Amino acid sequence: MKYYRLWVLAFLLKFIGSAWDASYHFKYLFEEYSIPHIVNTMGFALGGILLFKEWRHSTYMDGFSRNLITIGYGLFLIGIPLDFTYHIAYGIDLTTWSPTHFIYYIATDIMIFGVWHGYNLYTWHTVPTWKSMHTWFMMFLLECLLFPNMQQENGAISYDQYIHGKSIASKEILELISDPASQIFGGIPVYVYPIYSVLMVGLLTVVTIRILRDFTIPFMGALLYICLRFIGKAIFAAVEYPTSYVPMTIILIPLAFLLFRRTNWLAGLIGSLAYFLSLFAIHKSGILITPPLELWELAPVLLIGILIPVINAIINPHLALRKNKQPA
Amino acid sequence: MIPLYLFHVTAVPHSESLLWTFLTCNAFVVISGIVFMYKLFTQKKVKIAGILFGMALAINYILIAIIGDPFDLLG
């Protein structure tokens, strides 16, 4: 188990580094020895060592899981020169939504999925529970899938500070801003935020339940993610770094599936409805600063919330890995 | 520049002088990378594809370190 605990540490370092980096670029443009990048690279390097160890002597995971992680590493390494070329062509982009940044997210998703797949097979003789490392891997995958939203979640607070003349961004960042309502939110239309959130959270929840046959792991993974985001927010606030809105209402999506104890359209509908309306209520009441929202976005959010479990039911059930709920 | 949402960038001055050199090297790393990853996914032998991919990465990374900065390699 120590091997997989080290993977948890590696992904945790990547999580800390990327969250720090997202906050960092709302205050500073660029610094040569960017510490958030170094923390992220430490996680990447630790994972690389663990992967190399497995290539030398296959001990803790099957060949396919090892290959999946290697694909993730390969894709990430391809992303670096492509991102550099993108900057040559278009200049520095301060958004999580750039096409070359998505290569990093997809690559990290593949790495996490590979490790999680390996862990699931390594612990095949035990029933998956939320007390195991499944919850950690669920949380890491959720964090990586939702990472682009950090632009909107950090941007909401930064934009509010900017329009009230209380921005904490550095002079070099403020000089770049010509169209704050667009630039601070990465040039992405406002409707992307809730639609993307419900798509990623709903999809990950349903797929996790389908593979592990456990309704608690997605809920606890989302809860762990929210707790860590709040800890991060408290630390950033303490050191006067830009903070972000914590997407706590996403918890209602896995909670609906947990309460219904089945992945049907009704659980999808209730979860996505509760997610959006609670977020909209927070937005309208002004209790917290959230990314911008419009009420009409409820329609696509509900549609996606319903479609995910429906499509899951249509797809051949034999594709799911079966792991019966029996005592070990 | 192309007015697409995903191509949203800052107006920081930048030079496009070496764009085609980098694009050529990028094409090499992308093609060799796809071959390498396909072989990994299908669980075939990856030694030669891995060496070619490694060479393509090395060329790209050395170029970045010379033209740009070694810290650009951190992603």
**A274-309 as b/e: b if 16+ CB within 10 A:** bbbeebbebbeeeeebbbbbeeebbebbbebbbebb
- Nearest-CA residue of chain B relative to A91? B14
Name the amino acid, one letter, at A290: T
Contacts of A210 (CB under 8 A, 6+ apart): A263, A312, A320
Longest CA–CA span in chain B (Å) reads 46
Structural domain includes residue B63: yes
* Residue of B2, B4, B5, B8 to mutate for A, most A C-beta atoms under 10 A: B8
Contact between chains at A74 and B9 (C-beta distance less than 8 A): no
Contact between chains at A67 and B64 (C-beta distance less than 8 A): no
Structural domain includes residue B3: no
Distance of alpha carbon A275 from alpha carbon A288, whole angstroms: 15
State the residue for tokens 């992303």. Answer: A79
Structural domain includes residue B69: yes
Q: Where are the domains of chain A?
A: 2-319
Quickly count: other Cβ atoms within 10 Å of residue A259's Cβ.
14
Question: Counting every residue, how long is chain A?
Answer: 328
Alpha-carbon distance A262 to nearest alpha carbon in chain B (angstroms): 32
Structural domain includes residue B6: no
Structural domain includes residue B11: no
User: Using a CB-CB distance cutoff of 8 angstroms, which residues of chain A are in contact with residue B37?
Assistant: 71, 74-75
Element (H, E) at A207: helix A192-212
User: Which pair of tokens denotes residue B65?
Assistant: 């370190």
Taking the model in full, what pTM does it have? Answer: 0.91
Q: For A59-104, how does the pLDDT look when each residue is reduced to its tens digit (9 = 90+)? A: 999 999 999 999 999 999 999 999 999 888 877 777 888 889 999 9
Query: pLDDT of chain A along its 328 residues, tens only?
Result: 799 999 999 999 999 999 998 888 888 876 666 788 899 999 999 999 999 999 999 999 999 999 999 999 999 999 999 999 988 887 777 788 888 999 999 999 999 999 999 999 999 999 999 999 999 999 999 999 999 999 999 999 999 998 898 888 888 778 777 778 778 888 888 999 999 999 999 999 999 999 999 999 999 999 999 999 999 999 999 998 999 999 999 999 999 999 999 999 999 999 999 999 999 999 999 999 999 999 999 999 999 999 999 999 998 765 554 544 544 4
For residue B32, give its domain range: 18-74
Q: How far is CA A79 from CA A313, B4, B57, in A?
A: 35, 20, 10
Q: Give the total number of structural domains in chain B.
A: 1
Of B9, B23, B33, the CB nearest to A85: B23
Of B13, B26, B37, the CB nearest to A75: B37
Of A40, A77, A82, the CB nearest to B26: A82
User: Which pair of tokens denotes residue A73?
Assistant: 């590493």
Q: For A12-30, how does the pLDDT look when each residue is reduced to its tens digit (9 = 90+)? A: 999 999 999 888 888 887 6
- Identify the CA nearest to A221 among candidates A301, A128, A289, A155: A128
Contact B52, B32 (CB under 8 A): yes
Alpha-carbon distance A45 to nearest alpha carbon in chain B (angstroms): 11
Contact between chains at A94 and B41 (C-beta distance less than 8 A): no
